Chain A
Amino acid sequence: MATILFYLFAGLAIGGAIGVVMSKSPIGSLLFMVTALGAMAGTFVLLEAHFLAAIQIIVYAGAIMVLFLFVIMLLNLGHDYQKDLKGGAFAVLSFGVIGGIAGLMAQQLGSTGLEDGPGGAAIDAAMAEHGAVGAIATELYTTYVVPFEITGILLLVAIVGALVLAKREV
């Protein structure tokens, strides 16, 4: 069952990703992106990362994508049907290069079989004890509390930066 679901999500994600790249209208790209993100949230669930699946939907597919949507609407993009896909030799070359990268990664994944680690069992135990959120929160507020606080500062800086950049000259 899980395997079937995984392949379903994987197909959705890949299809969404291709749609993002190939869609003519920006709004279309965005909606394909939301699809891909949702499908990825599904794979997260299958990988027992329930909390991440939730914030993937809420933060990514929800907040960030809506932000993109606002900007697209604000700039009134998508009405010019000028084809912005680079074509010709450049596209072929690009395809060759990323194909090379993909080949290398595939070769690497194929040659070194992954062994089972202790991580899965530990996560499952922690989730059984603290719940899906608690399993992450325990670590986040103990071992990783300093990076967590720094992340807060980063967000503050981003807010200030975005304000300064986007507001018109006073």
Chain B
Amino acid sequence: MASLAALLQGGGQTADGGHFEPFFPGLVVILPLLGFLLNGILALQHARASADAVRGGSELDLGDSSSRPVTHTLPTWIGPGVMGLAFLITLVNFTRMFGAHLEEPVIVHYWTWIATGTFTVEAALQLDQLSMIMMMIITGVGTLIHVFSVGYMRDDPGYPRYFAYLNLFVFFMLVLVMGSSYALMFVGWEGVGLCSYLLIGYWFSDREKADAGKKAFIVNRIGDVGFLIAMFLLYKNFGTVDFVPVFHDAEALIYGGGLVTAITLFFFLGAVGKSAQMPLYVWLPDAMAGPTPVSALIHAATMVTAGVYLVARSSVLFALSPLTSAIVAGVGAITALFAATIALKQNDIKKVLAYSTVSQLGYMFIGVGVGAYAAGVFHLMTHAFFKALLFMGAGAVIHSMHEAYHSTHSHEDAQDMRNMGGLKAFMPITWVTMWLATLAIAGIWPFAGFFSKDEIIWKIGEFGGAENAAYSGVYAVIWIIALAAAMLTAFYMTRMMVMTFHGTNRTGEEEARNLHEAPAVMWVPLAVLAFLSVFGGWVNVPEALSSGWAGLGGLLPMGEWLHHWLEPLTAQAHHIQEVNLGELSHSAPLVGGGEALWAAISTLAALAVVAITIRVVGGQTVVAVKEDKTQLTGFSRLLYNKYYVDEFYDRVIVQPIIRASRFCWKVIDAGFIDGVVNSVGWISKGSGWIVSMLQTGTVNTYAFILTVGVLFILGASLF
């Protein structure tokens, strides 16, 4: 209770933190939890009502949108409402922090969560520039997606349950980014994993979707083991898992030493699981089984970026280990290329976006892997804008397609792009906003993705070419891969847009009449995100670009604000780099050339790819799914089947585990253990039968046995 009071007072004791005065930071976390509780109660109410209806022999009729039961009207206000409030509070905090020059993180302490001997974990929130950026993204983009969900999930019977899960997810995500220690971060880390599982398997009556949820959960567990081991190592060596003391003490570690490499590698294993990197990316494409706004919020904008946040948060540790940094960047690069190639041949609109997300996450890891933590977080932010927009746009398309097929009771696939085509005539707003996001992700000037992706690619060269850099050959390869993957991104995104919105409509004549633009509650969030996708990148433009051609010679309001904003947090890591790596390179690897030049080259190349793709894909004739008889061959077939990675995992990992489990069940459990248990039973039964012979029913015998007992007791007590 006392802690609750502290929560409402706007924070207990605050550490010394310049002029920054936190404004109810606890409420930001508590509000989504409150939303979860309220919506959860409504969900239970609804479940009871529909169970009663089923018992009564009928199904609960939701009625049309004007006469919904209260369980389906209140979440509309609660779900987005708590998010909006949380966003407003975050905004106040953000503006306050913006005004103050915060050098040290502000810790808002509430209570001691774990206190065991030498190990204590405080329930405390850490407010600093990094967590503030993440809070802004989570509550801001989260609010938009909640609003979008009101339209998207309107007719779903599980409407209150959906919002309960979504609010719970935001709560855990905020704990993840705001927690002041790795332990608290882990709470959020596991919590978002749980919510991800719940929401992927949201339509759990569908076996395939429930299995996708399980897959996500299990694959994530592999990474979580790494996170835990890393935490144990931290505790063993520092005696604490709080961020501030750990990073302070980390300076004593040996640069490139085994310990820091082990810690960071295990943390990276956790990040690989959560952020769907090679080789644990397989769950993310399957996670598209959940509702599309969920894909936008959890599997594009926020949860999957937790791994990037983890690396950025632990920048001091990662900067100390050049080997881990190279592995992070290498895994990121391989994932970026690998996923991008798979995306080339997918026909499911959400699958394309899913592999695109995996690929873009790879970019973020390249960024944090080359020590450009600000660039990684920058790409995380811009990606949150345009990928959330793309997913929600895809959601609008699917929503429309679904209703079209629903009206004719057709069972065609509403997500297959071969069934779409020409949708721009029906959904102009979606079309325009999605094109803006596509150009952003493709890296076209002046959209957001251009600046963030370009900075990462540039930083690879800077870092890999540094005076004392290790593995500079590896970084050169990563640089080439990153450029190539950027071009692939431009291709598959344009292909998706062309197949979906251009050409002739393939939905079907009858169905096409029911295609329509999304309602305002859905397109307004799209428009907001479109604005951010266009201009969101201007907050972090290096001097070389903003004063050069990219900023029209300083004409556009651009600046390196984000970089400076994060400086208090990255300074320590950059200092370590400076000491150990020496002067950074000022030209691209292998061929040379400055930042402005390469930015121009990459944007022109991307533009060329977009233009060529429009012509090539637009020129191809695509046929609807039911008429599509194409047999893919060769490399296309390999790509279409995602390199058979799932099948490979199934053969090499899943099936052996199933066989081993079956062995344990049939032979060890049913045979051996049950045999032992049963034979104990048989022995008892048999010996009981023998002993029961003593039970003659005659009093004399009993008296005799009693007397023998007396003899024994007497003997025992005398000797």
Query: Which A residues are closer than 8 A to B by beta carbons?
Result: 86, 90, 93-94, 97-98, 100-101, 104-105, 107-108
Q: Are B718 and A97 in contact (CB under 8 A)?
A: no
User: B699-719 CB contact bits vs A (8 Å, 1 = yes)?
Assistant: 010001001101100110010
Closest residue of chain B to A104, judged by CB? B714
Q: How far is the CA of A36 from the CA of B187 in the complex (A)?
A: 86
Closest residue of chain A to B703, judged by CB? A94
Q: How far is the CA of A107 from the CA of B719 in the complex (A)?
A: 11
Q: How far is the CA of A147 from the CA of B530 in the complex (A)?
A: 97
Contacts of A107 in B (CB 8 A): 718
Min CB gap A111→B, angstroms: 9
Q: How far is the CA of A107 from the CA of B714 in the complex (A)?
A: 12
Q: Are B714 and A94 in contact (CB under 8 A)?
A: no
Min CB gap B300→A, angstroms: 85
Closest residue of chain B to A93, judged by CB? B704
Given A86-B700, A90-B700, A101 and B707 contact (CB-CB distance below 8 Å): yes
| Ranked 4 nearest A-B pairs via Cβ | A100-B711, A104-B714, A97-B707, A101-B711
Q: Are A94 and B710 in contact (CB under 8 A)?
A: no
Contact with B718, one of A86, A94, A104 (Cβ below 8 angstroms): A104
Q: How far is the CA of A101 from the CA of B714 in the complex (A)?
A: 8
Interface size on B, residues (CB 8 A): 9
| Among A90, A100, A107: residue with most chain B CB under 10 A | A100
Q: Are A97 and B708 in contact (CB under 8 A)?
A: yes
Q: How far is the CA of A94 from the CA of B711 in the complex (A)?
A: 11
Q: Are B715 and A104 in contact (CB under 8 A)?
A: yes
Contacts of A104 in B (CB 8 A): 711, 714-715, 718
In the complex, 20 of the A-B residue pairs with CB atoms within 8 angstroms, ordered by the A residue number, are A86-B700, A90-B700, A90-B704, A93-B704, A94-B704, A97-B704, A97-B708, A97-B711, A98-B707, A100-B711, A100-B715, A101-B707, A101-B710, A101-B711, A101-B714, A104-B711, A104-B714, A104-B715, A105-B714, A108-B718
Contacts of B711 in A (CB 8 A): 97, 100-101, 104
Q: How far is the CA of A101 from the CA of B706 in the complex (A)?
A: 12
Closest residue of chain A to B707, judged by CB? A97
Q: How far is the CA of A105 from the CA of B700 in the complex (A)?
A: 23
Contacts of B715 in A (CB 8 A): 100, 104
| Among B711, B715, B718: residue with most chain A CB under 10 A | B711
Q: How far is the CA of A84 from the CA of B671 in the complex (A)?
A: 55
Q: How far is the CA of A104 from the CA of B711 in the complex (A)?
A: 8
Contacts of B710 in A (CB 8 A): 101
**What 5 new A-B contacts, CB under 8 Å, besides A90-B704, A100-B715, A104-B715?**
A94-B704, A97-B704, A100-B711, A105-B714, A107-B718
Q: How far is the CA of A108 from the CA of B715 in the complex (A)?
A: 11
Closest residue of chain B to A86, judged by CB? B700
Contacts of B718 in A (CB 8 A): 104, 107-108
Q: How far is the CA of A90 from the CA of B704 in the complex (A)?
A: 9
Min CB gap A90→B, angstroms: 7
Closest residue of chain A to B712, judged by CB? A100
CB interface residues, B 158-173, toward A, < 8 Å: none
Closest residue of chain A to B709, judged by CB? A97
Contacts of B707 in A (CB 8 A): 94, 97-98, 101
Q: How far is the CA of A169 from the CA of B704 in the complex (A)?
A: 35
User: B479-511 CB contact bits vs A (8 Å, 1 = yes)?
Assistant: 000000000000000000000000000000000
Min CB gap B98→A, angstroms: 88
Q: How far is the CA of A97 from the CA of B708 in the complex (A)?
A: 6
Contacts of A90 in B (CB 8 A): 700, 704
Min CB gap B683→A, angstroms: 28
Q: How far is the CA of A16 from the CA of B526 in the complex (A)?
A: 114
Min CB gap A95→B, angstroms: 11
Min CB gap A33→B, angstroms: 19
Q: How far is the CA of A81 from the CA of B584 in the complex (A)?
A: 122
Q: How far is the CA of A91 from the CA of B554 in the complex (A)?
A: 121
Contacts of A94 in B (CB 8 A): 704, 707
Min CB gap A31→B, angstroms: 24
Min CB gap B717→A, angstroms: 9
Min CB gap A16→B, angstroms: 22
